[in-house]
């Protein structure tokens, strides 16, 4: 193998490692926030139901809607990770 071919192979391996690292960071960071927000939404919903049990159905509907929006952020992380994975360099 020539010196140029070997250097090219090393660069490709270097890029692949950093692509995988970028995917892991994207999923970790973007998925971390929905976990936190879902926990806070659940905590607030339980406190609200505890204070006003008559409004349970309204609070439950709003909590489920808020959780769905928080989960959408995690799905964006997955899409970004797939984009990073399939981009050819």
- pLDDT one-digit tens code per residue, 7-45: 778 887 888 888 888 888 877 877 788 888 888 999 999
2: phi then psi, degrees, rounded to nearest 5: -75, 165
What pLDDT does residue 33 have?
81
End-to-end CA distance of the chain: 22
Q: What is the count of structural domains for the chain?
A: 1
Dump pLDDT digits (tens) for 61-75.
999 999 998 888 888
| SS3 readout for the chain | CCHHHHHHHHHHHHHHHHHHHHHHHHHHHHHHHHHHHHHHHHHHHHHHHHHCHHHHHHHHHHHHHHHHHHHHHHHHHHHHHHHHHHCCC
Where in the sequence is the domain holding 67, given as residue range(s)?
3-86
Q: Give the CATH number, domain containing residue 58.
A: 1.20.20.10
pLDDT at 55: 92
Task: Calculate mean pLDDT across residues 81-86.
Answer: 80
């Amino acid at each position: 193998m020539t010196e140029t071919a070997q250097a090219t192979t090393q660069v490709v391996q270097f890029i692949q490692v950093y692509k995988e690292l970028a995917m892991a960071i994207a999923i970790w960071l973007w998925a971390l926030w929905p976990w936190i927000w879902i926990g806070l939404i659940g905590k607030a919903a339980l406190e609200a139901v505890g204070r006003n049990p008559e409004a349970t159905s309204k609070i439950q509907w709003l909590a489920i809607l808020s959780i769905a929006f928080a989960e959408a952020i995690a799905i964006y992380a997955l899409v970004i990770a797939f984009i990073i994975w399939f981009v050819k360099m």
